[in-house]
């Protein structure tokens, strides 16, 4: 668990001193709480779900798809897809969600129901 990320999700910009880099209950207990808001319990922190960044999620789906369908996707197209993946990840890191979504929608993928299912899964991860 990323203790600092969980704490930030529960108490944005919490005021405290000490280090949470160990990501342990002991490190959390040792911080000096300086915030007016109540310090969350370890149980409350443990219940927080931190979603990975969209770029990481999409990159994982994309790479799994390329590996899964390597037999039906020619090497030249796979090369183009890796370029497409890199462009999409960089666009997301720059905050351009619409450009990434357009890249995925218009990707030159083979006409295959399973490949289209991967595209749909990726598009389904975008915020509405």
Residues 75 and 116 in one domain: yes
Query: Residues with Cβ < 8 Å from 1, sequence gap 6 or more?
Result: 23, 45, 46, 48, 50
pLDDT of residue 38: 97
pLDDT of residue 85: 82
Residues 30 and 64 in one domain: no
Distances 99 to 68, 94, 123, 124, 126 between C-alpha atoms, Å: 25, 10, 12, 15, 12
Residues 36 and 81 in one domain: no
Residues 72 and 41 in one domain: no
Q: Give phi and psi for 118, each to the nearest 5.
A: -65, -45
Determine which helix (DSSP H) or strand (DSSP E) holds 90, and give its type and residue range: helix 75-93
Residues of the domain holding 15? 3-46
pLDDT of residue 103: 87
Number of domains in the chain: 2
pLDDT of residue 66: 79
pLDDT of residue 10: 94
Residues 69 and 33 in one domain: no
Residues 19 and 69 in one domain: no
Residues 34 and 73 in one domain: no
- pLDDT averaged per 10 residues in sequence order, the chain, 128 residues: 90 95 94 96 90 80 81 78 84 88 82 78 83
């Amino acid at each position: 668990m990323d203790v600092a990320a969980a704490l930030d999700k529960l108490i944005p910009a919490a005021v405290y001193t000490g280090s949470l880099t160990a990501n342990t209950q002991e490190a959390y207990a040792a911080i000096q709480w300086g915030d007016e808001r109540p310090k969350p319990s370890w149980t409350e922190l443990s219940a927080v779900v931190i979603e990975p960044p969209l770029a990481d999620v999409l990159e994982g789906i994309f790479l799994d798809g390329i590996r899964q369908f390597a037999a039906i996707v020619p090497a030249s197209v796979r090369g183009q897809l890796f370029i497409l993946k890199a462009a999409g990840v960089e666009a997301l890191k720059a905050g351009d969600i619409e450009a990434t979504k357009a890249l995925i929608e218009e990707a030159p993928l083979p006409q295959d129901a399973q490949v289209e299912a991967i595209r749909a899964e990726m598009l389904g991860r975008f915020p509405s």
